[in-house]
Chains A and B, each alone.
Chain A
């Protein structure tokens, strides 16, 4: 299965992502090329996942695993198969958070195996406007479990224009992908989340103006 995923990511996902978004990347040198590592990005569109999978070099892309809500991506058998085997998601059971069940266990296993986990700490897709929702602290718990893993902030601008929530037809528009210097776990959840939030907002300030309403 692995090589099929690799081929599809490189020969289908990457050209499609370039065509639809232009993939205007700055700060590529901050991308982690081996795990355990965490990418924390803002989330406005399914394009975010496609875009993030397409910016990694071919030697690292197999390691990249987007964390995704199992209630959304695994409810349909076809989408579920694609999500697991081609996109390579790490399922997160959003609904079971707070019930005592360890919803982050699959993500921790992936990190332990040396994967690069992509998380969207906003928890769900926002609208295409530039606002960032409150960040959920799951990413801090992952960073706490793997203090050696760099947490790289990525601001994706404009993906909500390509494929907004609720639309089916993508429209090509340039997206800026701004990758910042990694944040490291220092021992406090609140401080870590604040540092990550500040890093994301700094990247957002460097993005070109978004004239979208």
Chain B
């Protein structure tokens, strides 16, 4: 009984919009799993293993995120720090590196606890510059000190690119959790929840519109499957989602909300395409097999590396007093 009472008290303390939102996502997952099960039974000849794998992976990913968001900023910070680590490890493993770079690679990993420590300490001013300015200066200096000058500039750029996308930009999602509850209609967790929903919805909407109507290729050199129809359909759908649902989770309205609705879907598309360009350069389709049915963690968070900082900055500019 005690556990049930405590669970009820815990849930009652959560913002209702967040619980409804998570409930809605759980409903979508149930629906998706049912469709996968029905398809498997109805058409025994076809192989739906990848679809089922993809659904199970969604359950795990959303379960982890929902748990972290409900538990608070510490759990969410921990989860995103782990995501940053796995993403950076994937990136550094695919990028061209050399035996003499091992020390620099170790230093790159060290930037993760350092950067997230400033999220934990809630020191926004230092978080803003620690990777973009100081890691940017220290890593090349370290390389110079150990006398590593072969391919110097391209190595410096590579390591910093990895840190910016996988650690700094993803860290913004964790920093949103430090927003005081009074500043957002569904609390800080509601802000992060809506960032993730809008970003993933945009990915899915682009895919679905592209499948339904796609004719005209948009960037054939990088992503041959991406079309203008998918991009524009995804843009309009996500903009509508942000415009109508955004006010339940974010303090945005009017001009701020309109700006978010117009810009965020484009950022999601840009993140997707940029990671595709890197994968094309390296010559892989997926960045690893970590998430069954999805690929690597970088494949999953590519859009988020662009949307997270933008979402944060638009909120900070238009609404949040804290930042």
Contact = CB atoms under 8 A, between A and B. Distances in A.
B86 A208 contact: no
B89 interface: yes
Given A209-B282, A211-B282, A24 B290 contact: yes
Contacts of A208: 94, 283-284
Interface residues of B, number: 22
Q: Say what secondary structure dominates the interface of chain B.
A: helix
Contacts of A167: 102
Interface string B107-142: 001000000000000000000000000000000000
Interface string B252-293: 000000000000000000000000000000111000111000
Contacts of A70: none
Interface in A13-52: 22, 24-26
Nearest to A209: B283
A38 B86 CA distance: 32
Contacts of B102: 161, 164, 167, 169, 171
A172 B87 CA distance: 12
Contacts of A169: 102, 106
B106 to A, nearest CB: 5
Given A158-B93, A174-B93, A164 B99 contact: yes
A86 interface: no
A22 B283 contact: no
Nearest to B286: A208
A213 B150 CA distance: 12
Contacts of B89: 22, 172-174
Of A26, A158, A167, A213, chain B has the most CB atoms within 10 Å of the CB of A213
A74 B86 CA distance: 35
A211 B106 contact: no
Interface in B37-96: 85-86, 89-90, 92-96
Interface string B294-309: 0000000000000000
A154 interface: no
A53 interface: no
Given A22-B290, A24-B289, A172-B89, A161 B97 contact: yes
B164 interface: no
Contacts of B221: none
A171 B159 CA distance: 15
A128 interface: yes
A24 B284 CA distance: 14
Nearest to B89: A172
Contacts of A209: 282-284
B197 interface: no
Contact of B289 (A25, A164, A212, A213): A25
B98 A212 contact: yes
B105 interface: yes
B139 to A, nearest CB: 15
A25 B90 CA distance: 14
A25 B98 CA distance: 24
B263 to A, nearest CB: 33
A208 B284 CA distance: 7
A26 B289 contact: yes
Nearest to A169: B106
A173 B93 contact: yes
A106 B250 CA distance: 67
Contacts of A128: 99
A24 B288 contact: yes
Contact of B105 (A25, A158, A171, A213): A171
Nearest to B86: A22
Nearest to B282: A209
B91 to A, nearest CB: 10
Interface in A139-169: 158, 161, 164, 167, 169
Contact of A22 (B93, B98, B99): B93
Nearest to A20: B89
Nearest to B91: A174
Contacts of A22: 86, 89-90, 93, 288, 290
Interface in A95-134: 128
Top 10 nearest A-B pairs (CB, nearest first) are: A211-B96, A174-B93, A173-B93, A171-B102, A24-B288, A209-B283, A213-B98, A208-B284, A172-B89, A171-B105
Given A173-B89, A173-B92, A208-B94, 8 more contacts: A24-B290, A158-B93, A171-B109, A172-B89, A172-B109, A174-B93, A174-B288, A208-B284
29 contacts: A22-B90, A22-B93, A24-B288, A25-B289, A128-B99, A161-B93, A161-B99, A161-B102, A169-B102, A169-B106, A171-B106, A171-B109, A172-B85, A172-B89, A173-B89, A173-B105, A174-B89, A174-B94, A208-B94, A208-B283, A211-B94, A211-B95, A211-B96, A211-B97, A211-B282, A212-B96, A212-B99, A213-B96, A213-B98
